[in-house]
Amino acid sequence: MIDKEHVRSLAEREQTDAVRLRRHLHACPELSFSEERTAAFIAEELRASGIEARVDDTTHGIVALVAGGGTADGPIVALRADMDALPIDEDEGREYRSTNDGVMHACGHDGHMASVLTAGRILLALRDELPGTIKLIFQPAEERAPGGALAMIESGVLESPRVDRVFGQHVNTELPVGTVGFASGLFMASADEFYIAVRGRGGHAAKPHQAIDPVVIASTLVVTLQQIISRNADPTIPSVLTFGRFTANGAANVIPDTVEMAGTFRTFDDRWREEAIERIRETTESLVTMLGGEAEIRIVRGYPALFNDPQTTGSARARAVDYLGEQCVVDLRPEMWAEDFAYYGRHRPSCFYNLGVRNEERGIVHPVHTSRFDLDEDALRIGSGLLAWIAIGALESAANEGDRRR
């Protein structure tokens, strides 16, 4: 039986290098499905540590194995990290600031990679005692639908060898460093995107009767589509429809020809998801036509709702309490965020939990997806050690279950 104090000491020993890894990755961000240099760096670090790693030249995804001693047919647990960054200009001031203009690790994926890589090193040091194998998954394109998880699953990442459980963690800027959060069952929403062009006929602002004003039509459409949520959704099913882009390239005295809109629809219910998408399509086409315009709508299907397997999550939470103490583990409510980790949960029992990275004394308080996001790097020691401890527990539990069945 592996002792948690040993895991803690290994995480502490690796902390300086974990910070080095995170800062290098933070300074060299790459966008979704373009993570070539990132993948090369991670693979090199894994191999230098003695961990077998394979890189997919098409997706840049990485699969690495830490095999326990003498357990070729033992259980297999996967730990997943995402690799891509966001198209955001980072604020000045940090010594490890992004060197790639307009691209930033503003969602903590640099910390996710450093934590999983470091957890792999911890587990490698304990491999003679592991009753199974750990599969490390470094995945591209979490930030861009349809997501890198789907591509990796379709290419067999959960097979050869077959994975029994999947675990992942994500930074949370609302949780103080030193804490972690878990949610059993439905945790995050599905997310689909809409790109709508409303075409009218431009003209002089003084003579709107000679034009077909796409601004008025598009404005009416935004308000009308909200009624799909308020008047068609079951009030007990959380739903969000948000339009974040509305572009009309006219002027104070110019009615434009076209308005372009982009939005997202999120929910937890698969059946309502399908119904709402069809209602949005039908309403867009019929309303715009009725008002004299033409509509072009493109729907990008995003991630399904993320479901944390209750048994897997309960066991992981118990391991976190054992490792950190009851006072450092909190229960989270479902959120309307979205994550392509959800795909793993559609194929294997999985648990996706949150790692606290907030430190108000140091000014580390800014949300993800913003130019001032940062994380308290003490979270790397906690995150890597806890990932390793949860993986060990899952292997031991699966091995014991196998022994009982035999």
Give the active site residues. Answer: 84, 142
Nearest to 375 by CA among 178, 173, 180: 173
Judge contact between 30 and 143, C-beta under 8 A.
no
Q: Are strands 306-308 and 76-82 parallel, antiparallel or unpaired?
A: unpaired
The label of the residue with tokens 């990290």 reads 81
d(CA 245, CA 198): 13
For residue 86, give Cα distances in angstroms to 26, 102, 303: 11, 8, 17
CA torsion angle for 107, 113, 116, 122 (degrees, to 10)? -130
* Consecutive H or E run containing 167: strand 165-176
Write the Ramachandran bin of 302: left for phi over 0, alpha for psi from -120 to 50, otherwise beta: beta
CA-atom Rg of the chain in angstroms: 24
Contacts of 174 (CB under 8 A, 6+ apart): 358
* Helix 36-49 with 109-125: angle, nearest 10 deg: 20
Question: What is the secondary structure of 276-320 as a DSSP string?
Answer: HHHHHHHHHHHHHHHTT-EEEEEEE--PPPEEE-HHHHHHHHHHH
CA distance 72 to 174: 41
Which region, left, alpha or beta, applies to residue 113 given φ > 0 means left and ψ of -120 to 50 means alpha? alpha
Q: Is the CB of residue 310 less than 8 Å from the CB of residue 316? A: no
Q: Which residue has the tokens 């527990």?
A: 393
